[in-house]
């Protein structure tokens, strides 16, 4: 595994691979790698010739008062995990290169960024869209792999790639979960034992909703109200529970084939998100 710290070196390498018709697959991460990220690497290895995993804790997607400073950065461990999983290039760009002096160019995917997490994290998806555009242009991949756990992010990036004409396939990979159902997330590390237990209510609610729909429930309102009830807990604050179209993310009053349930809660200080398709 080659470690690359310079954006320019990464881009030269990427363009060289392109001229050799080698397919480079990008797995963009913020590090603190867990099995969920490594599943993205496995998927990437199926899709192309070489895999680049980027680790960049992107400042512009964190809002004021969010966890940019405390976000975990176990870089050595990340490097070992990536190497063990067969990553070819471990790309750790410097913020001063990703955002050069005088940087002022922003990319926004307007409608898709507005609701859901976008409503609670102003500027977040603008930061995501901007950094992903930069990483795509630096790494020039044939495809890029993202987790479905950040479902709104995945839809934002799919839309961005289509609208801007990136010749890059965007691949979503289903969420990996702990045995008890909690979605893998770097932020789970913030939870204490009690909070970890309480956090389980989130996947349990989503799984309940899938069963309810299987058993004939068609009203989003009914599902949302029941989940809000089930999540009642002094340590839980609900940001949103929403049934949406899986592509446009428009709220759906009635469950239909494309319906997906998206939820965001805070357990103590820790923000957790999760989602599931309501029909298989």
Cβ-based neighbours of 179, under 8 Å, separated by 6 or more: none
* Minimum distance of a second copy from residue 210's CB (angstroms): 28
Q: Does 215 bind a second copy (CB under 8 A)?
A: no
Are 237 and 255 in contact, with CB atoms under 8 Å apart?
no
Q: Please report how the helices 220-230 and 201-214 are oriented relative to each other, as an axis angle in degrees rounded to 10.
A: 150
Q: Are β-strands 24-29 and 50-55 bridged in parallel, bridged antiparallel, or unpaired?
A: parallel
Cross-strand partners of 241: 263
Cβ pair 264, 272 in contact under 8 A: yes
Smaller CB distance to a second copy: residue 111 or 180? 111
Residue 70 or 165: the one with the smaller Cβ distance to a second copy is 165
Task: Compute the distance between CA of residue 273 and CA of residue 100 in angstroms, rounded to an integer.
Answer: 32
Residues 166-185 that bind a second copy (CB under 8 A): 166-167
- Residue 115 CB, nearest approach to a second copy (Å): 13
**Which residues are the active-site residues?**
37
Give the end-to-end CA distance of the chain in Å, rounded to a whole number. Answer: 38
Nearer to a second copy, 62 or 166 (CB): 166
> Which window, 50-58, 79-87, 110-118, 255-263, contacts a second copy (CB under 8 A)?
110-118
Residues 176, 123 contacting (CB under 8 angstroms) = no
How many binding residues for a second copy (CB under 8 A)?
Answer: 35
> Is residue 117 close enough to count as binding a second copy by CB under 8 A?
no
Specify the residue, 119 or 164, whose C-beta has the smaller distance to a second copy. 164
Q: Which of 27, 145, 160, 212 binds a second copy (CB under 8 A)?
A: 160
> 241 — phi, psi (to 5°)?
-130, 120
* Residues 5-24, interacting with a second copy (CB under 8 A): 7, 11, 15, 18-21
C-alpha–C-alpha distance, residues 178 and 232, integer Å: 23
Does 162 help bind a second copy (rule: CB under 8 A)?
yes
HSE at residue 83, side-chain half, CA atoms within 13 A, is 9
Q: Report 79-108 residues binding a second copy (CB under 8 A).
A: 99-100, 102-108
What region does 217 belong to: left with phi over 0, alpha with psi -120 to 50, or beta? beta
* Residue closer to a second copy, measured from CB, 138 or 171: 138
Q: What does the binding site for a second copy look like in residue numbers (CB under 8 A)?
A: 7, 11, 15, 18-21, 99-100, 102-112, 129, 133-134, 137-138, 140, 159-160, 162-167, 248
């Amino acid at each position: 595994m080659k470690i690359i710290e310079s954006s320019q070196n990464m881009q030269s390498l990427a363009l060289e691979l392109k001229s050799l018709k080698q397919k480079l697959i990008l797995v963009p991460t913020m590090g603190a790698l867990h099995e969920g990220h490594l599943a993205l690497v496995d998927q990437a290895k199926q899709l192309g010739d070489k895999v680049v995993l980027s680790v960049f804790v992107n400042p512009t997607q964190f809002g004021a008062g969010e966890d940019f400073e405390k976000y975990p950065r176990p870089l050595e461990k990340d490097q070992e995990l990536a190497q063990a999983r067969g990553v070819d290039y471990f790309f750790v760009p410097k913020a001063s290169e990703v955002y050069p002096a005088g940087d002022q160019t922003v990319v926004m995917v307007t409608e898709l960024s507005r609701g859901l997490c976008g409503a609670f994290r102003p500027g977040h998806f603008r930061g995501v869209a901007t950094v992903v555009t930069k990483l795509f242009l630096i790494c020039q991949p044939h495809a890029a792999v993202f987790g479905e756990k950040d479902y709104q992010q995945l839809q934002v990036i799919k839309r961005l790639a289509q609208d801007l004409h990136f010749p890059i396939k965007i691949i979503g990979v289903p969420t990996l979960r702990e045995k008890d159902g909690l979605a893998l997330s770097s932020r789970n590390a913030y939870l204490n034992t009690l909070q970890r237990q309480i956090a389980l209510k989130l996947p349990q609610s989503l799984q309940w909703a899938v069963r309810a729909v299987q058993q004939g429930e068609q009203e989003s309102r009914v599902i949302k109200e029941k989940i809000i009830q089930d999540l009642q807990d002094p340590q839980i604050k609900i940001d949103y529970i929403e049934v949406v179209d899986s592509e446009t993310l428009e709220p759906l009053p009635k469950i239909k084939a494309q319906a997906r349930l998206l939820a965001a809660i805070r357990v103590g200080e820790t923000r957790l998100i999760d989602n599931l398709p309501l029909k298989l």
